[in-house]
Chain A
Amino acid sequence: MFRNRLVLIISVVLTALLLLFAASTVFAQNDLEMETARKAFEAADRGNPDPAWEGQTFTIAVFSAGPRGPISGPLYFWRPFFEELTGATYEIVEIPFGELREKIFIDLITGTGFYDAIVGPSWFYGDYIVNDWIVPIDKYFEDPRMPVWDRDSIVLPIRELYMWGDTWYGFNNDHDGQILYFRRDVLNDPEWQAAFKEEKGYDMPVPPQTWEEVYDVSSFFNGRDWNRDGTPDYGISMHLKVGGQGFFHFMSYSAPYVVAPAPGDDPTRVTSYHNVYWFDPVTMEPLINSPGHVEALKSLMRLAETGPEAMFGWELGEAWDFFLRGNAVMTFSWGDVGTLSQLPEHSTIMGKLGAAPIPGSERYFDMEKQEWVEERNFVANTVGASWHGVISRFSDQQDLAAYFLSWQATPQINHWNVVWGWTGVDPGTLYDFLPPIGHASLEDYVATGFNEEDARQFITAYMDMWYHYPLRQHYLRIPGTPEYWEVLDIYLSEAVTGLVSPEEALNRCAQAWNEITNRLGRERQLAIYQESIGFQPE
C-alpha cells in the first residue's frame, strides 16, 4: 500500500517537473523571440504611415502552413506590430499548396480582387505579367509613406525573380535555392573515412562536390548503422511524391549536366546551345529530353536507391524530417533545412550539420557539338518558390498592402525572419551573409540559438553557390509555367517508380510541353522565353 502511494507521488512529482521544464523552455524561447522581434521592430524603418489607413483592412493570400508554419507564420507573428504601427490590420487567407494556382488565378482572372496582396511563388510571374494581374511597385520606392528596404542587398539571381525586365513587382522576402546538407560528424569520423577508402578506393570527399561523389558517399552509408541506434540507416532523403515539389530536386540535380558554359570570354553568355535549360531559344522546342537531362534522371534514380523506398510517397516536410531526425546522412534542399536543424522540436542534429553548395557533375553535354565533355561543371540554382508579396491590380487597398510588404522587406524585419527557422524565410541578402561578401555576423545567428559551426557552414554554402559558382540555371518564367512543371512532375514520378523508362518519360514530357506551347501560342511563348533568359537572336 505504502509502496503504491510512493510510486504515485514520485510519478506526479516527475510529471510536474517535466511539464515545468517543457513550459520554461517554451517560454524562454518565446521571450527571446519577442525580445529580438521588438528590437528588430524598433530598428526597422517605418516610413510615415498614412493616418487614413487607421481602421482599414486588407487581405493577403498565402501558402497554408498555419500560424507557426513556414511563410504563413510570419504574417501572423507580425500582425500585432503592424496594427500598432498603422492602426490598420489584415486578413490572412491560407491556401493549401496544391490549390494555390486555381484559387489565386481565378481571383485574378475574374478581377474579383478578393486578395489585395499575394505572398506567392515566383513561378507565377509569366502568368502575372502577361495577363497584367499585378502592379509594378517602383512608384513606392519614392513614396515617403513607405518603409525603405535595401534592394541592392538581395543576391542578383533572386533579385531578378522579384523583377520583370527593369521593373520591380515583388517585395523582398524569401530567397530559395537548393544546397547539399550532410552529417558533418559522420562524414568527418576517421573510422568511417577509413572504411570508405577501403571500399571505394579513394578518400571520402568531405563535402562531396559532384553528384557522382554524392552517390558514392550515400551508397556507402546506406544500410549501415551510422547513427548507432541498432538499426540500419539510409544514405539520402528526398521528397518524390507527385505534387510534393520533387521536380525541384530534378531541376537542381540536372542543371550541371545540361547547362553548358559558352565558349569565349564570357561563359555565362546565353546562346542557342549554352546556358539554356528549358527550351531551345530559337525554336521553343523543349530541351527536357536532351541527353543531359536523361543522364541526370538516370543518375538521380540511382541515388534514390540509396534512400528509403517510402520517399517516393513523401512531400518535402517528410523528407526534411527524416534527415533532421538523424535517419539519412545527406539531403539536398532549401534553406529551411539549415534553420530547422537548429530547432530542438524539429531536429536531433544540431551541432552536427554540414552544408555545401549544390554539387556539380563530372561531365556535361555540349548541345552544339552533340557530345559529352569530360569536365566538372558547377551550376547555381534558384529553384523553389522564393515566396514573396505582390499586389493585385484589382485591389482597392494597394497602398496599404504596399506599406505592409515594404515594412516586411526592411533589412531588420527580413533578417529577423531569416534567423528564426520556423518562419520559412531563407537567407539571400548581404545582411544575411558573412564577411567578406556580406555584413552579417555569426553572433546574429548564435543569439537565436544557432550552433556556430552549423551557421557558418549553412550561410557559407549559399554564399559560395550564389557568388562563386561560374554558371546558373535560369528560372522558368513564361505563361503556363505551373502547367509545364505539373506535367514534368508526373513524368518524373512515373520514371522514378519504374512505370516508364527515363528516356520515355522525358520524351513524353517534351511532347506534352510542345502541346502546351502550341495551345498557348508558340510565337508568344518564344518571345517571352527569350526575354526572360536574356537571349538575343542573331
Chain B
Amino acid sequence: MKEKGNIFVLPAIGWVLLFTIFPLLYSLRVALSQVVFGRITGWAGLSNFARMFGDHRFWQVLQFTLYFVVASVTITVLLGLGLALIFNRKMRGLKFFRALLTTPLFAAPVAIGYLGVMLFNERSGPINVLLRTLGLPEGAWLSNPAWARASVILVDVWQWTPFAFIIILAGLQSLSDEVYEAAAIESSSGWQIFRHVTFPLILPVVGTVTMLRIVDAFRVFDIPFVLTGGGPGVTTRTLTYYIYVQGLSNLDMGYASAMAYFLMAITLLVGIFFYRQSRALYQ
C-alpha cells in the first residue's frame, strides 16, 4: 500500500525535475558556455564567472543591491514592528486601519513603480507640489543619484512594510496575556516589558520576516526598472536588473547565467544563516 502511495508523489517529482532541476542544470551549462546572440558557440569554462570580477559595472550594481537590501529591509522591519505594536491593542476602527495598511501589498510591484513615477515627478508630482506650496526646497527625486536611490528604497519600503506588519502582528497576537500579566508584576515600564518579554518572544517571527525580506530584496527588479530606469547612470540598477539587461537585452546569456548563479549563492547563504540562527533560537 505504501509503495502504491508513492505513485502519487511522481507528478510532484516530475514538476520539480522539469521546472526546477532542469532549468538549474541548463543555466549552469549556459553559464559555462560562450553565448553570442543567444546561441551557444563554444565552451567558456569559468571565464563568465571570472568576467564578473573584472567588470566594474557588476561591482557597482552589487554595491547598490547590498545598499538597497540593508536599507530597505531594516526600515521595512522596523516600521512593520512599530506598526504592529501600535495596532496590537484594542482600539476603534482597528480592522479598517489594518485593511488600509495592507493595501500596497496587493498591488503588483510594476504598478507601484508607475505610481512612484507619478508621485516623484519633479515638475508636477504631488510631493514636490506640496513642498513648493509649503515654501520648502523641492527634491530632485529621480534626477539626482542620491535622491534616486532614496526614492527607490522609499517605494519598496512603502510596498513591503505591510508584509512585515502582518506577520509580526500575527506573532504578537499569538502571545498569551498571562505572560504580560506576570511581566506587569515584575516591571511597570512598557519599554522593559518590550525589551525583556515581547521582543524575545517574537524574535523568531522577526527573524523569519527579515530573512524573507532579504531574499526578496535581492531579487528586486520592477521598481527601479519602472521608476528610474536604473539611473542616473547605474546608481539604482540592481543585480537582477543587470542580469536582465545582459541576458535578455544584450543576449549575452552566458554572462547573465553566471551572475544569476552568483545571486543564487548569496541568497542561499542568507537562507542558511537565518535557518541556523532560528534553529539555535528555538533550541
A contacts, CB < 8 Å to B: 98, 101-102, 105-106, 109, 127, 131, 240-244, 308-314, 318, 322, 479-480, 482-483, 486, 490-491, 493-494, 496-497, 499, 519-521
* Nearest 8 CB-CB pairings of A with B: A242-B231, A313-B142, A312-B143, A243-B229, A310-B122, A313-B143, A494-B233, A102-B248
Contact of B141 among A109, A313, A519 (CB under 8 A): A313
- Asked if residues B36 and A105 are in contact (CB atoms below 8 Å), the reply is no
Once the chains are docked, how many angstroms separate the CA of A314 from the CA of B122?
9
Contact of A499 among B38, B141, B235 (CB under 8 A): B235
Interfacial residues of chain B within 129-171, with CB under 8 A of chain A in the complex: 140-145, 148
Q: Chain A contacts of B36 at CB under 8 A?
A: 519-521
- Contacts A105-B251, A483-B249, A486-B249 given; indicate if A493 touches B122 (C-beta within 8 A): no
Q: Chain A contacts of B251 at CB under 8 A?
A: 105, 109
Once the chains are docked, how many angstroms separate the CA of A78 from the CA of B124?
34
Q: Chain B contacts of A240 at CB under 8 A?
A: 143
Sampled A-B contacts (22; CB under 8 Å): A101-B249, A102-B248, A106-B38, A109-B251, A131-B37, A241-B228, A241-B232, A242-B229, A242-B232, A243-B231, A311-B143, A313-B142, A313-B143, A313-B148, A313-B232, A322-B123, A482-B249, A483-B249, A490-B230, A493-B233, A499-B233, A521-B36
Interchain pairs with CB closer than 8 A, number: 97
Binary interface profile of B, 60-77, with partner A (CB < 8 Å = 1, else 0)? Answer: 000000000000000000
- Asked if residues A490 and B141 are in contact (CB atoms below 8 Å), the reply is no
Determine if B195 is an interface residue (Cβ-Cβ < 8 Å): no
Determine if B203 is an interface residue (Cβ-Cβ < 8 Å): no
Once the chains are docked, how many angstroms separate the CA of A519 from the CA of B234?
22
Interfacial residues of chain B within 222-278, with CB under 8 A of chain A in the complex: 225, 228-235, 245, 248-252
Q: Chain B contacts of A482 at CB under 8 A?
A: 249-250
Once the chains are docked, how many angstroms separate the CA of A241 from the CA of B151?
15
- Min C-beta distance of A433 to chain B, whole Å: 36
- Contacts A105-B38, A131-B37, A520-B36 given; indicate if A493 touches B231 (C-beta within 8 A): yes
- Asked if residues B245 and A241 are in contact (CB atoms below 8 Å), the reply is no
Contact of A490 among B39, B148, B233 (CB under 8 A): B233
* Chain A contact residues: helix, strand, loop or mixed: helix
Once the chains are docked, how many angstroms separate the CA of A334 from the CA of B218?
39
- Asked if residues A98 and B229 are in contact (CB atoms below 8 Å), the reply is yes
The closest CB in chain B to the CB of A242 belongs to: B231
- Asked if residues A497 and B252 are in contact (CB atoms below 8 Å), the reply is no
- Asked if residues A483 and B250 are in contact (CB atoms below 8 Å), the reply is yes
- Contacts A243-B230, A312-B232, A519-B36 given; indicate if A497 touches B144 (C-beta within 8 A): yes
The closest CB in chain A to the CB of B138 belongs to: A310
- Asked if residues B229 and A244 are in contact (CB atoms below 8 Å), the reply is yes
Interfacial residues of chain B within 157-199, with CB under 8 A of chain A in the complex: none
- Min C-beta distance of B245 to chain A, whole Å: 7
Once the chains are docked, how many angstroms separate the CA of A140 from the CA of B168?
67
- Asked if residues A497 and B122 are in contact (CB atoms below 8 Å), the reply is no
Q: Chain B contacts of A310 at CB under 8 A?
A: 122-123, 140, 142-143
- Asked if residues B248 and A497 are in contact (CB atoms below 8 Å), the reply is no
Q: Chain A contacts of B232 at CB under 8 A?
A: 241-242, 312-313, 493-494, 496-497, 499
- Asked if residues B231 and A490 are in contact (CB atoms below 8 Å), the reply is yes
B contacts, CB < 8 Å to A: 36-39, 122-123, 140-145, 148, 225, 228-235, 245, 248-252
- Contacts A242-B232, A310-B140 given; indicate if A127 touches B37 (C-beta within 8 A): yes
Once the chains are docked, how many angstroms separate the CA of A370 from the CA of B245?
37
Q: Chain A contacts of B143 at CB under 8 A?
A: 240-241, 309-314, 497
The closest CB in chain B to the CB of A516 belongs to: B250
- Min C-beta distance of A377 to chain B, whole Å: 30
Q: Chain B contacts of A98 at CB under 8 A?
A: 225, 229
- Min C-beta distance of A511 to chain B, whole Å: 10
- Contacts A241-B231, A519-B36 given; indicate if A497 touches B145 (C-beta within 8 A): yes
- Min C-beta distance of A179 to chain B, whole Å: 25
Once the chains are docked, how many angstroms separate the CA of A240 from the CA of B39?
34
The closest CB in chain B to the CB of A327 belongs to: B123
Contact of B229 among A241, A479, A521 (CB under 8 A): A241
- Asked if residues A486 and B229 are in contact (CB atoms below 8 Å), the reply is no
The closest CB in chain B to the CB of A492 belongs to: B233
Q: Chain B contacts of A479 at CB under 8 A?
A: 37
Once the chains are docked, how many angstroms separate the CA of A309 from the CA of B142?
10
- Min C-beta distance of A499 to chain B, whole Å: 5
- Asked if residues B145 and A490 are in contact (CB atoms below 8 Å), the reply is no
The closest CB in chain B to the CB of A308 belongs to: B123
Once the chains are docked, how many angstroms separate the CA of A283 from the CA of B16?
50
Once the chains are docked, how many angstroms separate the CA of A490 from the CA of B144?
14
Contact of B233 among A127, A242, A318, A486 (CB under 8 A): A242
Q: Chain A contacts of B230 at CB under 8 A?
A: 242-243, 490
- Min C-beta distance of A147 to chain B, whole Å: 35
Q: Chain A contacts of B37 at CB under 8 A?
A: 105, 109, 127, 131, 479
Q: Chain B contacts of A314 at CB under 8 A?
A: 143
- Asked if residues B142 and A490 are in contact (CB atoms below 8 Å), the reply is no
- Contacts A479-B37, A499-B235 given; indicate if A106 touches B248 (C-beta within 8 A): yes
Once the chains are docked, how many angstroms separate the CA of A425 from the CA of B279?
64
Q: Chain A contacts of B148 at CB under 8 A?
A: 313
The closest CB in chain B to the CB of A483 belongs to: B250
The closest CB in chain A to the CB of B148 belongs to: A313
Once the chains are docked, how many angstroms separate the CA of A504 from the CA of B250?
24
Q: Chain A contacts of B250 at CB under 8 A?
A: 480, 482-483, 486
Once the chains are docked, how many angstroms separate the CA of A493 from the CA of B232?
6
- Asked if residues A109 and B38 are in contact (CB atoms below 8 Å), the reply is yes
The closest CB in chain A to the CB of B244 belongs to: A102
Q: Chain B contacts of A486 at CB under 8 A?
A: 245, 249-250
Between B37, B38, B141, the greatest number of chain A beta carbons within 10 A of the residue's beta carbon is seen for B37
The closest CB in chain B to the CB of A100 belongs to: B249
- Asked if residues A519 and B252 are in contact (CB atoms below 8 Å), the reply is yes
Q: Chain B contacts of A127 at CB under 8 A?
A: 37
Once the chains are docked, how many angstroms separate the CA of A517 from the CA of B114?
35
Once the chains are docked, how many angstroms separate the CA of A2 from the CA of B250?
71
Once the chains are docked, how many angstroms separate the CA of A244 from the CA of B140?
17
The closest CB in chain B to the CB of A311 belongs to: B143
Q: Chain B contacts of A318 at CB under 8 A?
A: 123
Once the chains are docked, how many angstroms separate the CA of A371 from the CA of B37?
39
- Asked if residues A497 and B233 are in contact (CB atoms below 8 Å), the reply is yes
Between A243, A486, A493, the greatest number of chain B beta carbons within 10 A of the residue's beta carbon is seen for A493
Once the chains are docked, how many angstroms separate the CA of A105 from the CA of B248?
9
- Min C-beta distance of B177 to chain A, whole Å: 52
- Min C-beta distance of B211 to chain A, whole Å: 32
Once the chains are docked, how many angstroms separate the CA of A354 from the CA of B141?
33
Once the chains are docked, how many angstroms separate the CA of A479 from the CA of B251?
12
The closest CB in chain A to the CB of B142 belongs to: A313
Once the chains are docked, how many angstroms separate the CA of A493 from the CA of B230?
11
Q: Chain A contacts of B234 at CB under 8 A?
A: 242, 490, 494
Seed contacts A131-B37, A243-B229, A309-B140; 4 additional CB < 8 Å A-B pairs: A242-B232, A313-B141, A499-B145, A519-B252
The closest CB in chain B to the CB of A325 belongs to: B123
Q: Chain B contacts of A131 at CB under 8 A?
A: 37
Once the chains are docked, how many angstroms separate the CA of A479 from the CA of B38?
13
Between A106, A479, A490, the greatest number of chain B beta carbons within 10 A of the residue's beta carbon is seen for A490
Between B39, B143, B248, the greatest number of chain A beta carbons within 10 A of the residue's beta carbon is seen for B143
Once the chains are docked, how many angstroms separate the CA of A491 from the CA of B56?
13
Once the chains are docked, how many angstroms separate the CA of A486 from the CA of B231?
12
